[in-house]
């Protein structure tokens, strides 16, 4: 085996070990959505089907989502406990981007050292760390699938690649609608190729036509009703106005650079300008197309900020590979060749400070922000002491957490699709948490048949509360389970 192969596997293992090290520091997860995913995985494990009709979320609702990721993880629960499966498998999936980046970069640079170095950088992309460490996230499958898709597309005319592309494409179709971003990128890629007067491979055009037609038809079947219900708001997942800026916010350049990594960012931008103004290279145009498409969609708030940054990160990293290729080629032809290893060392040190350390910082923050034991114990206590059709109010960010551990109904969570009057509901929740008026609060509590109010630290921080303002002993019992405050609603308003 070559030295580079050993190095590559070492990087891959390192990426897995680091991810698992952080992930197993807590038995719980950082992100609220993780608990939604676990419920789905458990349901598939038990019944073979996802939970599309949920009696608990929003007091009863239907979900609309693609289940491939959940089935994939559920498969592993056949061989290991669920907690292990949901901690280990996403970590391995996320780390697999190292191998895929290596393969892609080696394909277009034909240089092992450049490919290995780029693979190393891709293991420590800060935003990807932040979104996937100790989190059950669709990104951990969607990003490797994206890279795989592009890998096969780069050489679509080769024997077997078209069929492999189709296979990966179909898996991606059932994972996340982000495939449309890739297809749009391909169309932008064709436009750039035409402008640059380069020749297009017929097979590329054919595969993109197929991808466009198939995905349009598929998503029309799946999401038609959501579009009927929500109209334009469906494109933004029916996110309420209050949270819109959180999901689709504009980012400052400095923030973007920090989360992507300064070296890939700057070098990637250099390569983009170099290849759009001077040189011609189809593979570079392919990556540039993804960067352009992602930027445009982010600008028009058609994709979430974090998703956009992840895509930008990976493709700027690959453009950085080209920069590295050019740089090392230049160095090898000059007197600087004598200092070749030192230069590599300097690059690695810079990467350490600009990518690796920020990644570790994000990972550390994720672990600190993970669900607290007290909150879990409180919710388990509620499960044990409350009736089955009890409704618990928490903030939107605690919705899935409450549902998972207490197995009781909630008023809202962050899965907004197919929910009517979402803005009204969110405003009502805000009102409950901020109002001084007991009458107003009681009306709203009765409107949603709320029996308990779960006041986590997150909720207190979000609303700037130390306690609820309308509470009185006559109508509310304060129950301090394990340092987490829960209020039981004793009074109910009746309509005459």
Partner 1 sequence: MIKLDWLKNKKMQLLILLIITLIVILLPTIIRILQFKQIILPSDTIYYDIRMAQDIHNNNLLANDQLVFTQTEYVFNPLHYFLAILFIIIHPKITIILLTLFFSVMSIVLLYKIMENLSIPDNYKIITLILYILSPIFISSAIFLSKFTLGLLLFLALIYLKVIEKKSISVDIIVVFLAVLLFYISLSFLFFAIFFLFFYSFLIKKNLKKTIIMTAIIIFIIISLQQIAVIRQFTDIPGRTIYTNIFQETIADLGAFVGFGIFSILLFALGLYVMWKKQPMVKKYILFIIVLLIITYYFSDGKYLFNLCVSIISAIAFIYLLEQEWKLSLIKDVSLFILILGIIFSGLSTITRITAAYPTLDEYHAILFLQQQYSNINNQEYILSYYRYGHLLQSIPESNGKLPVFLDTKSYELNKYLNQSIIANELFYSRDIKKTTQLLTKYQIKYIFITPFMKSGIVWKKENQGLLFLLKNSERFKSIYNKNGVEIWEFS
Where do contacts with partner 1 occur on this chain (CB under 8 A)? 157, 162, 166, 201-203, 206-207, 209-210, 212-214, 216-217, 220, 224, 227-228, 231-232, 420-421
CB nearer to partner 1: give 143 or 207. Answer: 207
CB nearer to partner 1: give 222 or 262. Answer: 222
CB nearer to partner 1: give 128 or 234. Answer: 234
β-pairing verdict for 476-481 and 409-410: unpaired
DSSP reduced 3-state for 80: coil
How near is the Cβ of 305 to partner 1 at its closest, in Å?
24
- Listed in sequence order, the residues at least 6 apart from 325 whose beta carbon sits closer than 8 Å to its beta carbon are 109, 111, 114
How near is the Cβ of 214 to partner 1 at its closest, in Å?
6
How near is the Cβ of 203 to partner 1 at its closest, in Å?
4
Determine the Cα–Cα distance for residues 63 and 33; give it in Å rounded to an integer: 13
Identify the helix (H) or strand (E) that includes residue 453.
strand 452-455
CB nearer to partner 1: give 130 or 425. Answer: 425
**Can you tell me which residue has the tokens 């990003």?**
143
How near is the Cβ of 416 to partner 1 at its closest, in Å?
16
Determine the Cα–Cα distance for residues 310 and 259; give it in Å rounded to an integer: 9
CB nearer to partner 1: give 224 or 492. Answer: 224
Output the CA–CA distances (angstroms, integers) from residue 381 to 294, 375, 377, 387, 392, in the order listed: 45, 10, 6, 12, 13
Cβ(309)–Cβ(284) under 8 Å?
Answer: no
Output the CA–CA distances (angstroms, integers) from residue 208 to 100, 240, 303, 394, in the order listed: 21, 34, 21, 45
How near is the Cβ of 125 to partner 1 at its closest, in Å?
33
- Supply φ then ψ for residue 26, to 5 degrees: -145, 145
DSSP reduced 3-state for 463: helix
The pair of three-digit structure tokens given for residue 305, joined into one six-digit string: 């900020």
CB nearer to partner 1: give 224 or 280. Answer: 224
How near is the Cβ of 224 to partner 1 at its closest, in Å?
6
CB nearer to partner 1: give 200 or 350. Answer: 200
How near is the Cβ of 198 to partner 1 at its closest, in Å?
17
Determine the Cα–Cα distance for residues 308 and 233; give it in Å rounded to an integer: 19
């Amino acid at each position: 085996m070559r030295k580079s192969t050993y190095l590559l596997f070492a990087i891959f293992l390192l990426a897995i070990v680091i991810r698992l090290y952080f992930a197993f520091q807590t038995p719980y997860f950082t992100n609220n959505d993780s608990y939604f995913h676990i419920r789905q995985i458990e349901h598939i494990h038990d019944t073979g089907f996802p939970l599309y009709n949920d009696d608990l979320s929003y007091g009863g609702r239907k979900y609309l989502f693609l289940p491939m990721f959940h089935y994939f993880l559920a498969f592993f629960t056949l061989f290991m406990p669920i907690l292990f499966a949901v901690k280990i498998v996403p970590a391995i999936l996320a780390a697999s981007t190292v191998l895929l980046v290596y393969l892609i970069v080696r394909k277009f640079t034909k240089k092992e050292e450049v490919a290995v170095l780029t693979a190393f950088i891709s293991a420590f992309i800060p935003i990807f760390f932040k979104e996937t460490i100790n989190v059950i996230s669709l990104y951990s499958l969607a990003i490797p699938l994206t890279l795989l898709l592009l890998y096969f597309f780069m050489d679509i005319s080769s024997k077997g690649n078209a069929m492999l592309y189709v296979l990966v494409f179909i898996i991606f179709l059932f994972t996340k609608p982000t495939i449309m971003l890739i297809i749009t990128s391909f169309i932008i890629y064709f436009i750039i190729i035409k402008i640059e007067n380069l020749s297009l491979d017929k097979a590329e055009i054919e595969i993109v036509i197929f991808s466009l037609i198939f995905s349009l038809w598929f998503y029309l079947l799946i999401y038609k009703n959501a579009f009927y219900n929500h109209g334009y708001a469906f494109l933004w997942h029916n996110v309420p106005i209050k949270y819109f800026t959180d999901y689709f916010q504009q980012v400052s350049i400095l923030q973007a650079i920090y989360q992507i990594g300064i070296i890939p960012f700057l070098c990637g931008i250099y390569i983009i300008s170099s290849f759009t103004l001077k040189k011609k290279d189809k593979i570079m145009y392919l990556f540039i197309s993804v960067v352009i498409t992602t930027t445009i969609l982010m600008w028009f708030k058609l994709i979430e900020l974090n998703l956009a940054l992840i895509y930008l990160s990976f493709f700027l990293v690959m453009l950085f590979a080209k920069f590295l290729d050019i740089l090392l080629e230049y160095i090898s032809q000059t007197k600087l060749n004598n200092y070749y290893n030192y230069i590599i060392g300097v690059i690695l040190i810079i990467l350490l400070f600009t990518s690796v350390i920020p990644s570790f910082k994000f990972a550390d923050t994720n672990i600190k922000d993970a669900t607290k034991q007290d909150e879990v114990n409180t919710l388990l206590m509620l499960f044990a002491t409350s009736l089955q059709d009890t409704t618990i109010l928490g903030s939107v960010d605690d919705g899935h957490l409450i549902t998972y551990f207490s197995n009781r109904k909630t008023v809202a969570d962050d899965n907004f699709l197919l929910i009517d009057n979402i803005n009204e509901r969110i405003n009502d929740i805000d009102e409950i948490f901020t109002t001084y008026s007991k009458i107003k609060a009681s009306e709203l509590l009765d409107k949603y048949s709320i029996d308990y109010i779960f006041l986590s630290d997150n909720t207190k921080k979000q609303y700037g509360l130390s306690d609820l303002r309308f509470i009185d002993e006559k109508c509310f019992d304060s129950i301090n389970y394990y340092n987490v405050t829960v209020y039981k609603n004793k009074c109910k308003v009746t309509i005459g």
